[in-house]
Chains A and B, each alone.
Chain A
Amino acid sequence: MIDWHHENGALGVEAVGLTMRFGSFTALDAVSIRIRPGSFHALLGENGAGKSTFVKCLMGFYQASDGDILVGGHEVHMTHPRVAQGLGLGMVYQHFTLVPSLTGAENLVISRGDVPMRIDWARENRDLRAFMARMPFTAPLDTPVADLSAGEKQKLEILKQLYLGHRFLVLDEPTSVLTPQEATEILSHVRALTQAGEITVLMITHKFREVTEFADEVTVLRNGIHAGHGRVGDLSHADMARMMIGERQSQPIPDRAGTPGATVLSLHDIRALDRSGLREIAIRDLKVRAGEIVGIAGISGNGQSDLMEILTGQRSLLSGEMRVHDTPYHARRPEAQRLKVRYLPEEPLHNACAPRMSVADNLALRSFDDGRGIWLDRAGIAARAKTRIAEFDIKTRSPEAPVRALSGGNVQRTALARELTGDVDLLIVANPCFGLDFAATEAIHDRIMAARNSGTAVLMISEDLDELLKLADRIIVMAEGTLVHETPAASADLAMLGQYMSGHA
């Protein structure tokens, strides 16, 4: 029998045979997990493995179809998120839930249930400073949250949970928007809090490194069932991967072939304003050659999306020049067609597809106006769509289904199928695998590598450093609107990259 309350306040939670059915679909099938008070427990699994369903049942967003939840050793009925909060359970979401225009202090105070009608800021500020002084880390309180870095926001999210007195925290992929240094810093603090017995943590993650470095125990879910559990020290990365992916064969990335050829894309002394109009984006010199993948690394919000908009012609330039095949390039449609430039922007459903139009029509967006007069070649569009769907393994009810009805991975495949059809000299991609599961990511990576090997110049902007280390030939770090560091991917040093990404190098 274990003690469900740590003397310093950490709370233990147990799920017994938790089952969640949506109609005939079973998202979670009799999952039992015991999270001891004061432990740092990792929950591993692919997208769709049931991690978020499990957590939502725990936090009262869903009511489990079957099974029990015990908090502090007592069975509870999680009928509403407020029940969970009242018991001391808190959650830090993957997407920030702080209010952007409010300051840190305002965010903390308003999240409390018992705010008085008139807020006595002198007293609240005094209390907040006293609270901060007790914490192992702090975050700015007087700046609007919109102006904080991702790391500061994440710290503030965690501080908010502690401020609210929650003693059991669920962290949903807490490091997905952080630099390696920020991730390490924050997780170390969280670990220290668990070791002190102040809180218990259940962390949803994809990253094995975080599990081995910070967690005590790990539970793996696969297709809604409990696929494995153990103490972190007893499991290797290979063990965890096997539990997570099962017996499925994962295909290795195709080997690199060929050597880089002539320069395809060159940016020279580019200057432009970013979206807020307050900061300048300055790219002094960037070249991408045929048959190489150049990766742009950086933490989100350092000008990568502005760079993408410059490359797609959505942002006007203050000065400088883009050239493709040594001719001036302004990203207009005829130019892109003539010079064989293709794009895969992030969130393709919104940025590269017409969501309500069919898969077939979306596949034809690049080519529907080739030649012929005012009539569309319907038969040709349908025939080509069929070929593409088979070739790129797009899972859709029919070519006529709207593209927004597809899963994220299949939307990405649809966009990629369109962009990689025909001769492609230059492919520009941004965060191609954001939110995709293991299998879909693998397939997209294969396609990009195959394009490189066939002589396409690839510029890949990505916030996922692992992805860049795997695919890119050269990695260039972008920070605060400029390119600050370049290194061959083969000899890249993770710590060094992280320093440049955070602007402290």
Chain B
Amino acid sequence: MSADIGLWGVPLAILAGAIRVSIPFLFVALGECLTERSGRINLGLEGTLVFGAMAGYAISYETGNPFVGVAGAALAGSLFGLFHGWICKFRGVNDIAMGIAMMLLGLGLAFYFGKGYIQPVAPDLPAIPLGNWSDIPQIRAALQINILFFVGAGLALAMWWMFRQTRVGLVIRVVGDSADAARAMGMNIDRVRLLATAAGGALTGVGGAYLSLAYPGSWNEGISSGQGLMAVALVIFARWSPIACFWAALLFGGAGALGPALQSVGVSDGYYLFYAAPYVLTLALLILTSSPERALRGAPGELSITK
């Protein structure tokens, strides 16, 4: 049974891991991309992500249907987004400070309501076995790709299309790039941002449900390792493009899979250093792609961090 593929196991494990680990990054990044394109920043997505993980797991356990769990997580996420968007429309409210408060609120609520769901086992989200053509078990395992990966990839394409080809997309870009122009055209800036923030929260909730219902696949308080925060850096690195968000999420996923992949082929010394790869990558990318002298190209003009 154990067909030995030797060191080929490392790239294979990284690829498989990249896909598995990238999914929450992808959903949070798409959500944040949508929100930031409307000119608002939501730093509270880490809290939304963890709350989504808890809500998705709990609902999946109670109903026995993981898809109902995902829908519930999306609903919970959109409520967090709505709340953030509603508060931020008031004059003098800083969306960054508010986002940090929302993060703490989300984490606190998730831990409070999630206490009773640490033990029970909820039904998981199904994966699609794309590797059945192969006899090698490692390949079969690596190509067990979760259904949400395809949903996320499709969403990235759909969002790219929306920004270019639909009225909604253009309106979001106008509101995010020039509030004056939006006002002159009679657009309701607050409402556009409210809905974009809510939709961004819903996507983040789905990312959270993936954490608890697929990989790692159970609910506990340490379920997120900061994906909700790193996704903010990821969106900047992706220059607010949904397609670039997809590739950036894969890159971050690959970095996250480095440690486990090395461990799986028996590297026992120092592999844990590679667990830090995503954080090092976040830091390195932000430093390398920034400049004290140049303005960030592609940044929505109304964003409070780039204004």
Identify the A interface with B (CB < 8 A). Answer: 81-82, 93, 95, 97-102, 106, 109-111, 113, 115-119, 121, 273, 275-277, 315-316
Closest 8 pairs between A and B when the two form their complex, measured CB to CB = A277-B294, A110-B170, A115-B167, A97-B181, A101-B177, A99-B178, A99-B181, A99-B177
Q: List 11 A-B contacts (CB under 8 A).
A: A98-B181, A100-B178, A101-B298, A102-B174, A109-B170, A110-B185, A117-B166, A117-B167, A118-B166, A273-B293, A276-B294
B186 within 8 A of A: yes
Known: A275-B294, A315-B293. A119 touches B165 (CB 8 A): yes
CB contacts (< 8 Å) of A113 on chain B: these are 186
Q: Considering the complex, give the chain A residue whose CB is closest to the CB of B186.
A: A82
Contact indicator A119/B301 (Cβ below 8 Å) = no
> Does B20 touch A at the CB level, under 8 Å?
no
* B186 & A99 in contact (Cβ 8 Å cutoff): no
Q: Is B295 an interface residue (CB 8 A)?
A: yes
Cβ-defined contact, A99 with B174, below 8 A = yes
In the complex, chain B residues whose CB is within 8 Å of the CB of A121: 165
Give chain B residues whose Cβ lies under 8 Å from the Cβ of A97: 178, 180-181, 184
Residue contact B294 to A273, C-beta cutoff 8 Å = yes
Using known A-B contacts A97-B180, A97-B181, A99-B178, determine if residue A276 contacts B170 with beta carbons closer than 8 Å: no
Q: In the docked arrangement, what's the CA distance between A315 and B291, Å? A: 12
Most chain A CB inside 10 Å of its own CB: which residue of B177, B184, B293: B293
If the complex has contacts A99-B177, A110-B167, are A81 and B294 also in contact, measured as CB distance less than 8 A? no
* Residues of chain B lying within 8 A (CB to CB) of residue A118: 165-167
Asked whether B295 lies within 8 Å of A119 as measured between CB atoms, the reply is no
Given the known interface contacts A275-B293, A316-B293, the answer about A116 and B178 at a Cβ–Cβ threshold of 8 Å is no
Q: Residues of A contacting B286 with CB < 8 Å?
A: none
Q: Inter-chain contact count A-B, CB under 8 Å?
A: 65
Chain B interface residues (CB < 8 Å from chain A): 165-168, 170-171, 173-174, 177-178, 180-181, 184-186, 291, 293-295, 297-298, 300-301
CA distance A276 to B293 in the complex (A): 8
B160 → chain A, closest Cβ, in Å?
14
**Chain B contacts for A116, CB-based, 8 A:** 167
B186 CB contacts on chain A under 8 angstroms:
81-82, 113
Chain A residues within 8 Å of B301, by CB: 100-101
B35: min CB distance to chain A, Å: 16
Q: Is the pair A277, B184 in contact by a Cβ cutoff of 8 Å?
A: no
In the complex, the chain B residue whose C-beta lies closest to that of A81 is B186
B29 to chain A, nearest CB (A): 19
Nearest CB in chain B: distance from A145 CB, A? 10
Contact of B185 among A93, A106, A111, A273 (CB under 8 A): A111
Q: Are B174 and A100 in contact (CB under 8 A)?
A: no
| Shortest Cβ gap from A381 to chain B (Å) | 32
How far apart are B100's CB and chain A's nearest CB, in angstroms?
25
CB-defined contacts of B165 to chain A, threshold 8 Å: 118-119, 121
| Chain B residues within 8 Å of A100, by CB | 177-178, 301
Query: In the complex, what residue of chain B is closest to A111 when comparing beta carbons?
Result: B185
Within the complex, the shortest CB–CB distance from A186 to chain B, in Å, comes to 20
Q: Which of A113, A119, A273 has the most CB of B within 10 A?
A: A119
Residues of A within 8 A of B298 (CB): 101
A113 to B167, CA, bound (A): 11
